[in-house]
């Protein structure tokens, strides 16, 4: 899959340096797969959830949440936000 854009991950990592390695591991893993559906994605990323039109990934043992829009037909992942767990709780409220 192709990720748009890694800049979001880097910007979040500047504010939360401990998130840098887990986010880049997530990115590298995602870039190596081809998923045709949410169920296929779930086999690779067990902690991913679908909330409305977005896919929510738990990063670093649920310390961070990555919100993405995924277009399976084009294999494109648009990163909408990376949040701490506390910020995510506010976002989903």
DSSP string, 12-77: HHHH-GGGHHHHHHHHHHHHT---SSHHHHHHH-TT-EEETTEEEEEETTTTEEEEEEEETTTTEE
pLDDT tens, the chain, 93 aa long: 999 989 999 999 999 999 999 999 999 999 999 999 999 999 999 999 999 999 999 999 889 999 999 999 999 999 999 999 888 888 775
Quick one: how far is CA 77 from the chain centroid? 9
Q: What is the CATH number of the domain that holds 8?
A: 3.30.2310.20
Query: pTM for this one?
Result: 0.92
* Distance, CA of 2 to CA of 19 (rounded, Å): 21
55, β-bridge pairs? 50, 68
Provide the number of structural domains found in the chain: 1
Q: Which domain does 17 fall in, by range?
A: 2-92
SS3 of residue 3 by DSSP: strand
């Amino acid at each position: 899959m192709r990720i748009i854009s890694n800049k979001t991950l880097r910007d979040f990592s500047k504010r939360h340096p401990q998130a840098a390695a887990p986010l880049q591991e997530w990115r590298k893993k995602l870039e190596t797969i081809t998923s045709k559906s949410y169920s296929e994605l779930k086999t690779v990323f067990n902690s991913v959830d679908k909330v409305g039109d977005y896919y929510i990934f738990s990063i670093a043992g649920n310390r961070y949440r990555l919100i993405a829009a995924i277009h399976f037909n084009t294999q494109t992942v648009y990163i909408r936000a990376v949040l701490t767990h506390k910020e995510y709780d506010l976002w989903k409220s």
